[in-house]
Structure 1
Amino acid sequence: MTESTGETREHQLTRNVGEMLQEMRVAQAGVQILFGFLLSVVFTAQFRAADGFEKGLHLTAVLLAVASTILLTAPAAWHRVLFRSGARDRILRAGNRTVIAGLCCLALAITVTVSLIAKVVFGTVAMAIVGGVSLLGFGLLWLVLPWRLRPREE
């Protein structure tokens, strides 16, 4: 039994895996919407007329969305493949790292996508501003704030 929750280690691992899988579902919905948008763009006349830099930004966003999809779905695949093998602790440790990496790829994919949109609509300066503000927002809310909110050791 763990002292803080009164549950066995196995129950705690089961609950933690369930929480991680639920968190991945939330993030994966964002990836799916973004990925669908990015895939549909290539079939437009405006995309065919885009310059090489804009097409490169688009491909970068697509590849980051693919990486995010791979990283965010890997722990679910591991859980299914390793079901009842007693590997929950290893799934949690490795899954935590892949989910964090997947969220970083998602933040970058979104940043590149909104930067591309700003470039096409308003130009290079807008691209830099929108990209910088987006990256700053993700960095502050997804990294800095959680780091500051973590419990401090006495």
Structure 2
Amino acid sequence: MAVETPSSRKNQSRETEKERWDRNFADLLQELRVAQTGVQILFAFLLTLPFSSGFPQATNFQKDTYIVALISAAFATAMIISPVAFHRALFRQGRKPELVRYAHKMASGGLAFMLISMVSSVLLITDYVLNWKWAIPLTVITAGWFLTYWALLPFAHREWGEEEEGDEYDEGSPATSS
């Protein structure tokens, strides 16, 4: 991941609007590659779980939790991969701004469903291995951990890297926000 410096911001301020949309889309695709790998591994694990020898002994609560984890992983997978299908549909139509805005929304939604799936998976496994007295607090801690790193810290530090006085690069403009 490239570190943004004041000089790189000045170079970005000289980008055309088309170049900015292209860069934003490329940046977003890189982020989606990371998320896609994680959700695919989780989804694959969840797809194989019912075929394991211990699954028939799972309680109704554990099976319900499994369904929440599985369906949310499927939704996350669909949303994280959807920008590729959208790109195919809009290919060479000059609609990159629309594609970037759509891909941003799908990536955000996909991460939300991945959060649900991961937390549900933790609840399922901790309830199966331990018991609900341990499963609930461990799951709450896990959810808090994810929310801290995926939501609280990023939103709390949106002002990091503020432009230096006189820097023309406007990170908040629609053409440069990812």
| TM-score (normalizing by structure 1) | 0.93
Identity of aligned residues (%): 32
Residue 71 (structure 1) shift? 0.8
In structure 1, the residue matched to 2:50 is 42
Paired residue total: 153
SS of the residue aligned with 1:150? Answer: coil
Look up the match of 1:62. Answer: 70
Q: Distance in 2 between matches of 1:21 and 1:91?
A: 11
Larger radius of gyration: 2
| 1:125 counterpart = 2:148 | no
Partner amino acid, structure 1, of 2:73: A
CA–CA distance in 2 between the matches of 1:103 and 1:116? 20
- TM-score norm. by structure 2 comes to 0.81
Aligned: 1:82 with 2:90: yes
Unpaired runs of 5+ in structure 2? 1-8, 163-178
Q: Which residue of 2 aligns with 1:150?
A: 158
CA offset digits 1:82-141 (Å, max 9, x no partner): 111111101111211111110011011011101110000110012111210111011111
What is the correspondence of 1:8-27 to structure 2 with a 5 Å cutoff? 8-27=16-35
The RMSD of aligned alpha carbons is: 1.8
Q: Which has the higher helix share?
A: 1
Answer 1 or 2: higher relative contact order, Cα 8 Å, separation at least 6.
2
| Deviation per residue, 1:28-65 (Å, 9 max, x gap) | 10011101111111001211121211111111100000
